[in-house]
Amino acid sequence: AHGVRLPATAKWYDRRDSVFIEFLVEDSKDLQVKFEKSKLDFRCVGGIENIKHQNELDLFDSIDPNESKHKRTDRSVLCCLKKAKAGIAWPRLTKDKAKFQWLGVDFNNWKDWEDDSDEDLSSFDKFSEMMNTMGGEDGMPDLGMGGMEGLKEHDSDDESKF
Protein backbone atom coordinates (compact mmCIF):
# COMPACT_ATOMS: atom_id res chain seq x y z
CA ALA A 1 0.00 0.00 0.00
CA HIS A 2 1.22 3.46 -0.80
CA GLY A 3 2.55 5.56 2.08
CA VAL A 4 2.69 2.69 4.54
CA ARG A 5 5.87 2.86 6.56
CA LEU A 6 7.23 -0.22 8.26
CA PRO A 7 9.30 0.01 11.42
CA ALA A 8 12.95 -0.86 10.84
CA THR A 9 14.43 -3.65 12.95
CA ALA A 10 16.47 -2.18 15.76
CA LYS A 11 18.51 -3.17 18.77
CA TRP A 12 19.59 -1.06 21.70
CA TYR A 13 21.85 -0.98 24.73
CA ASP A 14 22.25 1.19 27.80
CA ARG A 15 25.29 3.06 29.09
CA ARG A 16 25.83 5.34 32.05
CA ASP A 17 25.33 8.58 30.14
CA SER A 18 23.76 7.50 26.86
CA VAL A 19 21.51 4.99 25.19
CA PHE A 20 22.46 3.48 21.84
CA ILE A 21 19.97 2.33 19.21
CA GLU A 22 21.00 0.69 16.00
CA PHE A 23 18.49 0.58 13.17
CA LEU A 24 19.43 -2.36 10.99
CA VAL A 25 18.73 -0.93 7.56
CA GLU A 26 21.16 -1.64 4.75
CA ASP A 27 21.87 1.00 2.13
CA SER A 28 19.53 3.50 3.69
CA LYS A 29 18.67 6.72 1.93
CA ASP A 30 16.48 9.77 2.58
CA LEU A 31 17.48 9.40 6.20
CA GLN A 32 15.78 11.63 8.75
CA VAL A 33 16.47 11.30 12.44
CA LYS A 34 14.71 13.66 14.78
CA PHE A 35 15.56 13.78 18.46
CA GLU A 36 13.14 15.40 20.89
CA LYS A 37 13.19 15.63 24.66
CA SER A 38 11.58 12.23 25.15
CA LYS A 39 10.97 11.09 21.59
CA LEU A 40 12.88 9.69 18.68
CA ASP A 41 11.55 9.78 15.14
CA PHE A 42 13.51 7.71 12.65
CA ARG A 43 12.69 7.59 8.96
CA CYS A 44 14.50 6.28 5.93
CA VAL A 45 14.09 4.38 2.72
CA GLY A 46 15.85 1.06 2.88
CA GLY A 47 17.69 -1.17 0.52
CA ILE A 48 17.07 -2.29 -3.05
CA GLU A 49 13.34 -2.62 -2.48
CA ASN A 50 13.04 0.99 -1.33
CA ILE A 51 11.00 0.06 1.71
CA LYS A 52 9.88 3.10 3.64
CA HIS A 53 10.73 2.80 7.30
CA GLN A 54 9.57 4.81 10.23
CA ASN A 55 10.11 4.19 13.92
CA GLU A 56 8.52 6.54 16.39
CA LEU A 57 9.57 6.02 19.97
CA ASP A 58 8.31 7.48 23.20
CA LEU A 59 11.47 7.15 25.21
CA PHE A 60 11.71 5.76 28.73
CA ASP A 61 13.27 8.98 30.04
CA SER A 62 14.29 12.35 28.69
CA ILE A 63 17.33 12.95 26.53
CA ASP A 64 19.29 16.00 25.46
CA PRO A 65 18.30 16.42 21.79
CA ASN A 66 21.20 18.76 21.03
CA GLU A 67 23.81 16.31 22.29
CA SER A 68 22.27 13.24 20.66
CA LYS A 69 23.70 12.14 17.33
CA HIS A 70 23.39 9.50 14.65
CA LYS A 71 25.82 7.87 12.29
CA ARG A 72 24.90 6.13 9.08
CA THR A 73 26.80 3.17 7.65
CA ASP A 74 25.93 0.93 4.73
CA ARG A 75 24.64 -1.66 7.13
CA SER A 76 22.77 0.35 9.72
CA VAL A 77 22.14 3.68 11.38
CA LEU A 78 23.45 4.04 14.91
CA CYS A 79 21.85 6.64 17.16
CA CYS A 80 23.40 7.82 20.38
CA LEU A 81 20.87 9.38 22.73
CA LYS A 82 22.46 11.50 25.40
CA LYS A 83 20.59 10.97 28.67
CA ALA A 84 19.31 14.10 30.33
CA LYS A 85 20.15 12.40 33.65
CA ALA A 86 23.37 10.40 33.46
CA GLY A 87 23.69 7.49 35.85
CA ILE A 88 20.02 6.51 35.64
CA ALA A 89 19.71 3.04 34.13
CA TRP A 90 17.05 2.49 31.49
CA PRO A 91 15.46 -0.92 32.09
CA ARG A 92 13.82 -0.51 28.69
CA LEU A 93 14.01 1.86 25.79
CA THR A 94 10.40 2.96 25.65
CA LYS A 95 7.98 4.54 28.06
CA ASP A 96 5.49 1.86 27.14
CA LYS A 97 6.07 -1.59 28.61
CA ALA A 98 4.73 -3.21 25.44
CA LYS A 99 7.07 -5.52 23.55
CA PHE A 100 7.83 -4.28 20.08
CA GLN A 101 8.34 -6.97 17.46
CA TRP A 102 11.04 -4.94 15.77
CA LEU A 103 13.04 -4.00 18.86
CA GLY A 104 15.61 -6.17 20.62
CA VAL A 105 18.48 -5.82 23.04
CA ASP A 106 22.00 -5.67 21.64
CA PHE A 107 23.49 -8.37 23.85
CA ASN A 108 26.99 -7.97 22.43
CA ASN A 109 27.14 -4.48 23.83
CA TRP A 110 24.84 -4.82 26.79
CA LYS A 111 26.41 -4.30 30.20
CA ASP A 112 24.77 -4.13 33.58
CA TRP A 113 26.89 -1.14 34.36
CA GLU A 114 25.09 -0.50 37.62
CA ASP A 115 26.75 -3.46 39.30
CA ASP A 116 29.84 -3.40 37.14
CA SER A 117 33.09 -2.60 38.87
CA ASP A 118 34.69 -1.54 35.58
CA GLU A 119 32.67 1.64 35.58
CA ASP A 120 34.20 4.26 37.80
CA LEU A 121 32.35 5.05 40.95
CA SER A 122 30.65 8.37 40.70
CA SER A 123 32.33 11.18 42.57
CA PHE A 124 29.54 11.00 45.13
CA ASP A 125 30.26 7.33 45.86
CA LYS A 126 33.98 8.00 46.06
CA PHE A 127 33.34 10.84 48.44
CA SER A 128 31.12 8.78 50.75
CA GLU A 129 33.68 6.00 50.73
CA MET A 130 36.43 8.40 51.68
CA MET A 131 34.32 9.71 54.54
CA ASN A 132 33.77 6.17 55.75
CA THR A 133 37.42 5.18 55.77
CA MET A 134 38.44 8.40 57.52
CA GLY A 135 35.69 8.03 60.09
CA GLY A 136 36.30 7.36 63.77
CA GLU A 137 34.91 4.31 65.60
CA ASP A 138 31.32 5.43 65.37
CA GLY A 139 31.41 6.27 61.68
CA MET A 140 31.67 10.00 62.35
CA PRO A 141 34.90 11.68 61.31
CA ASP A 142 36.96 12.03 64.47
CA LEU A 143 38.21 15.60 64.52
CA GLY A 144 40.08 15.33 67.85
CA MET A 145 43.82 14.86 68.20
CA GLY A 146 43.32 11.14 67.72
CA GLY A 147 42.11 11.81 64.21
CA MET A 148 45.23 13.81 63.42
CA GLU A 149 47.45 11.03 64.78
CA GLY A 150 45.59 8.54 62.62
CA LEU A 151 46.22 10.62 59.53
CA LYS A 152 49.91 10.95 60.32
CA GLU A 153 50.31 7.21 60.71
CA HIS A 154 48.43 6.72 57.47
CA ASP A 155 50.82 9.05 55.66
CA SER A 156 53.90 7.14 56.76
CA ASP A 157 52.39 3.90 55.39
CA ASP A 158 52.00 5.51 51.98
CA GLU A 159 55.61 6.60 51.68
CA SER A 160 56.76 3.10 50.77
CA LYS A 161 54.71 3.33 47.58
CA PHE A 162 56.57 6.32 46.17
When comparing pLDDT for 159 and 131, which is higher? 131
Top-level class of domain 10-133: mainly beta
Whether the per-residue pLDDT at 121 is higher than 90: the answer is: no
Q: Which DSSP helix (H) or strand (E) runs through 127?
A: helix 123-134
State how far the Cα of 76 lies from the Cα of 16, in Å rounded to an integer.
Answer: 23
Look at residue 110 in the predicted model and tell me its pLDDT: 85
Summarize the confidence of residues 90-110 as an average pLDDT: 92
pTM recorded for the entire structure: 0.69
Total count of residues recorded for the chain? 162
What is the domain partition of the chain in residue ranges? 10-133
